């Protein structure tokens, strides 16, 4: 992948916007700045977004530029030789592609609801789709719920944040995290990308704590926070750093995983960096908190034609046409109904 000829054509492209297309309720933009390629979701009403979905340096494609992507790979501390991985949320496919390179034995299954992002991952990010790396156009929770009970993953990544920072409710509840736990192998680990500025950030961390015995937090200056959850015996920071050093020696990662690891918070430190954690509530399918859906992006069905057979980006689990593809839809009720039926 370091000399991937599929990316050579990008060097001849001028800086600026390389692609700008409608997709569902967003515009998707691919932008080039010297050797950096970025993909972002743009709000159709306001034509603004500060949310970059994926980044790639085509001169160093094995380097994970985004700090949160590096933090997600701290999951390797608990599973240093993963054999099977599931990613709910694909975007530019940076984490799957890097895992594919460094771990030739791993099987990677991904889900994504934006088909254009899958095309972009292949054309602009050089994602090597093959028998070991597959992506399915499907709701992330539905895919996991439809797996046989004996299917186990060493690592489950959930990274399903849409343009304005909204996280689908169905991917934030106790029932969903229990579903993840049921499909983790022994010593398996869940890695969750969250936004610290979310109103329900503390509730989401509290919900993960309600399911997993050990919860570690890696808050980042860029605003993301990665939660690592497992039922393995607890580790202290020294043990985490020791395991990271072994991984670095074995694989010679192109990104500073040790620098990311020193930011991990353990035990009582979680409450110190999330003061509201003790008062937070556990999120459940049937009782979405008041105001949760206020952060949904604008859903104008006139802007979203041709997506009736795709999952609604709000995260209800319903097809778009049955959810926000209709006028005057109550998103909260559709989310509750679908969450119950999916189980």
129: in domain: yes
Say whether pLDDT at 59 is over 60: yes
Inform me whether the pLDDT recorded for 258 exceeds 60: yes
Q: How far is residue 107's CA from residue 100's CA, in Å, rounded to a whole number?
A: 8
Confirm whether 286 is domain-assigned. Answer: no
CB 211 within 8 A of CB 178: yes
Q: How do the residues of the chain divide into helix, strand and coil, expressed in percent and rounded to 5?
A: 35, 25, 40
Looking at the structure, tell me whether residues 41 and 90 fall in a common domain.
no
Average predicted confidence (pLDDT) for the chain: 84
Structural domains counted in the chain: 3
Lowest mean pLDDT among 99-113, 159-173, 251-265: 159-173
β-bridge partners, 253? none
Q: Look at residue 322 and tell me if it is in a domain.
A: yes
The answer to whether residues 251 and 269 belong to one domain is yes
Question: Hey, is 63 helix, strand or coil?
Answer: coil
Q: Residue 270 maps to which CATH number?
A: 3.40.50.150
Looking at residue 163, what is its pLDDT?
54
The answer to whether residues 12 and 85 belong to one domain is: no
| pLDDT score for 331 | 39
Last residue of a domain, one of 19, 35, 57: 57
Residues 261 and 324 in one domain: no
Q: Are residues 117 and 176 in the same domain?
A: yes
Would 335 be classed as within a structural domain?
A: yes
> Is residue 43 assigned to a domain?
yes
Give the tens place of pLDDT for each residue, 265-298: 999 999 999 989 999 999 999 999 988 887 676 5
What's this model's pTM, rounded to 2 decimal places?
Answer: 0.86
Q: Is the model's pLDDT at 241 over the cut of 60?
A: yes
Mark whether 29 and 83 lie in a shared domain.
no
Same domain, 163 and 213: yes
Q: What's the whole-number mean pLDDT along residues 221-241? A: 94
* DSSP-derived secondary structure for 183-242: TEEEEEEEEEEEETTSTTHHHHHHHHHTT-SEEEEEE-TTSEEEEEEESSPP--HHHHHH
Among 50-64, 176-190, 259-273, the range scoring the smallest mean pLDDT is 50-64
Do 83 and 117 share a structural domain?
yes
Residue 226, φ and ψ in degrees, nearest 5: -105, 125
209 and 328 housed in the same domain? no
| Residue, of 311 and 218, whose pLDDT is higher | 218
Lowest mean pLDDT among 12-16, 285-289, 328-332, 335-339: 335-339
Based on the fold, state whether residues 192 and 237 are members of the same structural domain.
yes
Query: The tokens of 178 are what?
Result: 């229990």
Looking at the structure, tell me whether residues 75 and 213 fall in a common domain: yes
Q: Which of 228, 245, 279 is the C-terminal boundary of a domain?
A: 279
Q: Quick check: is 62 in a domain?
A: no
Question: pLDDT grade, residue 222 (50/70/90)?
Answer: confident
Instruction: Tell me: do 106 and 228 sit in the same domain.
Output: yes
Do residues 231 and 181 touch, judged by C-beta distance below 8 A?
Answer: yes
Task: Supply the pLDDT for residue 337.
Answer: 31
Q: Would you say the C-alpha torsion 223, 2, 21, 23 has a positive or negative sign?
A: negative
Q: Which of 230, 245, 279 represents a domain boundary (last residue)?
A: 279
Higher pLDDT, residue 79 or 50: 79
287 in a structural domain: no
Q: What is the extent of the structural domain holding 305? A: 292-342
Q: Is residue 273 part of a domain?
A: yes
């Amino acid at each position: 992948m370091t000399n991937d000829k599929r990316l050579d054509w990008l060097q001849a492209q001028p800086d600026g916007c390389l692609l700008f297309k409608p997709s569902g309720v967003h515009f998707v933009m691919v932008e080039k700045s010297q050797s950096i390629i970025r993909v972002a979701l743009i709000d159709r009403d306001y034509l603004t977004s500060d949310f970059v979905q994926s980044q790639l340096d085509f001169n160093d494609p094995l380097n994970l530029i985004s700090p949160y992507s590096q933090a997600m790979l701290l999951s390797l501390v608990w599973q240093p030789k993963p054999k099977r991985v599931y990613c709910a949320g694909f975007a530019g496919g940076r984490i799957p592609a890097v895992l594919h390179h460094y771990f030739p034995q791993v099987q990677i299954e991904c889900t994504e609801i934006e088909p254009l992002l899958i095309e972009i991952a292949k054309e602009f990010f050089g994602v090597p789709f093959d028998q070991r790396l597959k992506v399915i156009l499907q709701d992330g929770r539905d895919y996991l719920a439809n797996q046989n009970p004996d299917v186990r993953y060493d690592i489950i990544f959930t990274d399903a944040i849409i343009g304005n920072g909204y996280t689908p409710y169905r991917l934030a509840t106790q029932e969903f995290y229990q579903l993840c736990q049921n499909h983790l192998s022994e010593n398996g680990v869940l890695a969750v990308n969250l936004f610290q500025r979310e109103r329900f950030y503390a509730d989401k961390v509290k919900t993960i704590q309600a399911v997993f015995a050990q919860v570690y937090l890696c808050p980042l200056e860029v605003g993301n926070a990665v939660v690592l959850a497992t039922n393995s015996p607890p580790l202290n920071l020294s043990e985490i750093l020791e395991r990271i050093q072994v991984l670095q020696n074995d694989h010679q990662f192109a990104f500073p995983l040790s620098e990311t690891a020193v930011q991990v918070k353990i035990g009582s430190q979680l409450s110190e960096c999330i003061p509201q954690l003790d008062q937070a509530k556990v999120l459940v399918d049937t009782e979405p908190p008041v105001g949760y859906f206020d952060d949904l992006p604008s859903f104008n069905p006139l802007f979203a034609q041709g997506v009736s057979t795709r999952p609604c980006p709000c995260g209800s689990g319903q097809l778009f046409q049955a959810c926000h593809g209709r006028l005057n839809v109550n998103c909260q009720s559709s989310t509750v109904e679908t969450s119950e039926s999916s189980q």
